[in-house]
């Protein structure tokens, strides 16, 4: 018997969850646009920063992962100039002309139309298209969710309009710079596009050197969402960037030729502790020590010392809390009550999210018990429910041809 495309996709180690998402997206696309002939599909995982967050605007070194929570895009190029986009997350749509792209306030369409506008401005797309997208990641994951949506669309445009790959990923960064400012994290973009299954992804943002390190597949990633919204979260993150820039200017009085905090070592910083305002010193201290933590974490991964690795992850949280002042009582409570549990080998707040949330690396067989335990503790303390999600590490972005979609 001849294999169906679905059989072939499964043999290529496509997760059943990804395949199911593709099926549903294709069915909805056909319902809205009539059929899916000549359409292409993209799946892109959600990114999660593990270590090195808030060092990316100082040429940092970062360690990240992708989660099996995906953006799925089905897109087809049109022969005319009409653009039709359907958001299956909240069942909303936009229709407009290629030559008259609207301003947008909806958070999802803002990112998608922004990417479209940038590609049009550089004459990389020259016709209309129809597209459907969906992402099943919780909002508390933050920028990793929205980077996933943009990269899925960018890859769909590349496939449908036969674009050159070179430099294409920069359009996501350009789009986020316009919408978010310097908090845009290029490491997220490379992670989502390039990561491999059951791997931690490392990138040096000064040299763009990439490496991947084995993830212990015996552990799940547990996300805990307090649903406490952070007022002006974007402004807070961009404030930290400004404080670091002030610190660099101050340190240039004592060391010639530094470009940013990547060029500052711990010994030099500690010698000049009295030369900087305490708040600025603490921001720099976090950046410098976080770079050291990433290096130590990689060494632990090479040795398969996951317990040591987890301790470094938790240390990163406490530095974000004390030196960067980004955490709060709820996240600190979760980390404090998680890091000493034997089956949890790391706990940390999620950076650049609009909600107070944490991630934990938890042994699979006790993940359910851990969730039950921590949610009860949290309710006893704060009289509020804690929402828990379980994920596994996933591989990076994948493309599906129109022939693939025909037989799904």
Q: What is the pLDDT of residues 357-371, one digit of tens each?
A: 999 999 999 999 999
Q: Is 377 helix (H, G, I), strand (E, B) or coil?
A: helix
What is the token pair recorded at 219? Answer: 């552990």
Q: What is the pLDDT of residue 256?
A: 80
Q: What is the pLDDT of residues 327-352, one digit of tens each?
A: 999 999 999 999 989 999 999 999 98
Mean pLDDT of 94-106: 95
245 plus 185 within the same structural domain:
no
Q: What is the pLDDT of residues 228-262, one digit of tens each?
A: 999 988 899 999 999 999 999 999 988 888 899 99
Rounded to the nearest 10°, the torsion over CA 352, 357, 358, 359 is -80
298 plus 339 within the same structural domain:
yes
12 plus 146 within the same structural domain:
yes
143 plus 261 within the same structural domain:
no
348 plus 374 within the same structural domain:
yes
Residues in CB range of 174: below 8 A, 6 or more apart: 118
Planar angle of CA 155, 160, 164, nearest 5 degrees: 60
258 plus 128 within the same structural domain:
no
CB-CB contact of 14 with 161 (8 Å):
no
Mean of all residue pLDDT scores within the chain: 93
Q: What is the pLDDT of residues 180-207, one digit of tens each?
A: 999 999 999 999 999 998 899 999 999 9
Q: What are phi and psi of 58, to 5 degrees?
A: -130, 40
- With a cut of 70, say whether residue 150 has pLDDT above it: yes
Mean pLDDT of 268-288: 94
CA-wise closest residue to 392 among 277, 273, 247, 223: 223
Percent of the chain with pLDDT over 70: 97
Q: What is the pLDDT of residue 12?
A: 55
DSSP 88-144: TTTTEEEEEETTSPPP--SHHHHHHHHHHHHHHHTTS--S-EEEEEEE-S-GGGTHH
182 plus 67 within the same structural domain:
yes
237 plus 190 within the same structural domain:
no
**Radius of gyration from C-alpha coordinates of the chain:** 22
176 plus 232 within the same structural domain:
no
Overall residue count recorded for the chain in this entry: 408
CB-CB contact of 354 with 142 (8 Å):
yes
67 plus 143 within the same structural domain:
yes
Side by side, which strands form the sheet with 355-363? 344-349, 355-363, 219-229, 387-391
- With a cut of 90, say whether residue 408 has pLDDT above it: no
Q: Is 41 helix (H, G, I), strand (E, B) or coil?
A: strand
Helices 170-179 + 143-160 axis angle, to 10? 130
The CATH number of residue 183's host domain is 3.30.230.10
The CATH number of residue 298's host domain is 3.30.70.890
CB-CB contact of 203 with 209 (8 Å):
yes
137 plus 201 within the same structural domain:
yes
Q: Is 355 helix (H, G, I), strand (E, B) or coil?
A: strand
CB-CB contact of 346 with 324 (8 Å):
no
- Residue 34: CB atoms within 10 Å: 9
Q: What is the pLDDT of residues 1-36, one digit of tens each?
A: 444 444 444 435 677 888 888 999 999 999 999 999
The range of the structural domain enclosing residue 96 comes to 5-215+398-406
Q: What is the pLDDT of residue 349?
A: 98
Q: What is the pLDDT of residue 285?
A: 97
Q: What is the pTM of this model?
A: 0.93
Residue 257 — left, alpha, or beta (φ > 0 → left; ψ -120 to 50 → alpha)? left
Round to whole Å and give the CA distance between 216 and 209.
23
What is the tally of structural domains in the chain?
2
133 plus 196 within the same structural domain:
yes
What is the token pair recorded at 99? Answer: 């030559």
Residues in CB range of 242: below 8 A, 6 or more apart: none
């Amino acid at each position: 018997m001849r294999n169906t495309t679905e059989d072939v996709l499964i043999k290529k180690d496509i997760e059943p969850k990804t395949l199911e998402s593709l099926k549903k997206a294709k069915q909805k696309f056909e319902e809205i646009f009539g059929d899916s002939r000549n359409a292409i599909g993209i799946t892109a995982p959600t990114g999660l920063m593990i270590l090195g967050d808030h060092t990316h605007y100082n040429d940092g070194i970062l360690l990240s992962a992708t989660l099996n929570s995906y953006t799925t895009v089905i897109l087809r190029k049109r022969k005319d100039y009409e653009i039709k986009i359907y958001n299956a997350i909240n069942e909303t749509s936009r229709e407009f002309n290629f030559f008259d792209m609207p301003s947008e306030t909806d958070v999802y369409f803002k990112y998608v139309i922004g990417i479209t506008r940038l590609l049009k401005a550089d004459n990389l797309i020259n016709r209309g298209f129809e597209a459907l997208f969906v992402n099943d990641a919780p909002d508390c994951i933050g920028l990793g969710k929205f980077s996933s949506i943009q990269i899925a669309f960018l890859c769909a445009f590349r496939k449908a309009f036969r674009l050159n790959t070179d430099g294409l990923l920069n359009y996501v960064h350009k789009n986020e710079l316009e919408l978010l400012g310097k908090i845009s994290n290029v490491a997220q973009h490379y992670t989502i596009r390039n990561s491999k299954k059951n791997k931690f992804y490392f990138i040096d943002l000064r040299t763009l050197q990439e490496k991947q390190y084995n993830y212990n597949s015996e552990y799940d990633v547990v996300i805990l969402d307090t649903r406490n919204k952070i007022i002006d979260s974007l402004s807070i993150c961009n404030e930290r960037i400004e404080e670091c820039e002030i610190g660099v200017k101050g340190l240039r009085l004592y060391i010639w030729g530094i470009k940013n905090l990547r060029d500052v070592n711990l010994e030099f910083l500690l010698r000049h502790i009295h030369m900087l305002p305490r708040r600025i010193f603490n921001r720099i201290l976090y950046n410098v020590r976080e770079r050291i933590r990433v290096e130590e974490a990689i060494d632990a991964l090479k040795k398969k010392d996951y317990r040591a690795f987890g301790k470094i992850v938790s240390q990163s949280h406490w530095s974000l809390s004390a030196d960067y002042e980004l955490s709060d009582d709820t996240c600190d409570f979760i980390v404090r009550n998680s890091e000493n549990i034997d089956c949890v080998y790391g706990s940390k707040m999620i950076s650049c999210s609009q909600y107070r949330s944490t991630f934990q690396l938890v042994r699979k067989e006790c993940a359910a018990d851990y969730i039950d335990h921590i949610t009860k503790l949290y309710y006893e303390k704060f009289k509020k429910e804690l929402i828990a999600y379980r994920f596994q590490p996933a591989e990076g972005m994948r493309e599906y041809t129109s022939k693939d979609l025909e037989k799904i």
